[in-house]
């Protein structure tokens, strides 16, 4: 079963419009969210750690190597549970010295060396570009699967898809993220939009899990039984 490119484009545009609307609402809201709701929003926003490549890389790794995927997610969880003071100290230092980037943070620890800040920024740039490319590849793979094309297809359409996605993501980051580098600004709109996206991710994973358990297998007993036999 495949979907038309037009339908996918309409759904994608509608989804991005909803994301922009939520972020705009969060930025323009005159009063902050209630504390309990704010806790839920920030908790959900942590799921931004799970990127588009998670749907392919982590799931595929889990299918082939069982628990090999776990350390990638276990590390941050253990840090938040057993060493929250590390993050608290980093936040405190950042607020005291008005630090807004990793490069500035590391440079501040060594006399605010501009040379060191440039080197760190370049290292981060070189390190993050391949990872961003993986995210774009994951999105293109997803689009190819939905329209029934070869998952490894190349050509103008693939390049256009990656380009459009890159431009939309860059626009979103500029409008709701990096337009102000004031460390005291909380970017409520972006965090609220990310929390909404995380909620969609959780619902999607839950829906896929239910489909797998009750359509591909005959319930949990059958699933666990076949899993034990394959080990």
Taking only the tens place, the pLDDT of each residue in 61-101 is 777 777 777 888 888 888 888 888 888 888 888 888 878 78
Average pLDDT of the residues in 116-125: 89
The contacts of residue 9 (CB under 8 Å, 6+ apart) are none
Whether the pTM exceeds 0.75: the reply is: no
Question: How high is the pLDDT of residue 123?
Answer: 92
- Nearest to residue 200, comparing CAs of 14, 3, 9? 14
Question: How high is the pLDDT of residue 150?
Answer: 61
Question: How high is the pLDDT of residue 160?
Answer: 67
Tokens representing 50 are 């799970």
CB 23 within 8 A of CB 189: yes
């Amino acid at each position: 079963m495949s979907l038309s490119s037009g339908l996918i484009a309409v759904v994608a545009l509608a989804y991005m419009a909803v994301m922009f609307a939520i972020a705009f609402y969060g930025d323009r809201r005159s009063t902050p969210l209630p504390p309990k709701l704010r806790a839920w929003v920030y908790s959900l926003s942590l799921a931004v750690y799970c990127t588009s490549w998670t749907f392919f890389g982590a799931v595929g790794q889990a299918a082939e190597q069982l628990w090999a995927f776990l350390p990638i997610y276990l590390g941050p969880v253990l840090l938040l549970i057993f060493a929250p003071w590390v993050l608290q100290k980093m936040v405190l230092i950042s607020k005291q010295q008005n630090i807004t980037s990793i490069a500035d943070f590391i440079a501040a620890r060594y006399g605010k060396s501009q040379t060191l800040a440039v080197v760190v920024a370049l290292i981060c740039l070189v390190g993050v570009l391949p990872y961003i490319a993986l995210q774009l590849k994951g999105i293109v793979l997803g689009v190819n699967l939905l329209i029934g094309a070869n998952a490894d297809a190349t050509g103008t359409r693939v390049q256009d898809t990656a380009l459009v996605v890159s431009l939309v993501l860059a626009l979103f980051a500029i409008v709701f993220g990096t337009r102000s580098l004031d460390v005291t600004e909380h970017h409520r709109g972006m965090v609220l939009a990310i929390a909404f996206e995380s909620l969609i991710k959780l619902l999607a994973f839950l829906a896929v899990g239910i489909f797998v358990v009750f359509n591909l297998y005959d319930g949990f007993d059958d699933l666990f039984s076949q899993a034990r036999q394959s080990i």
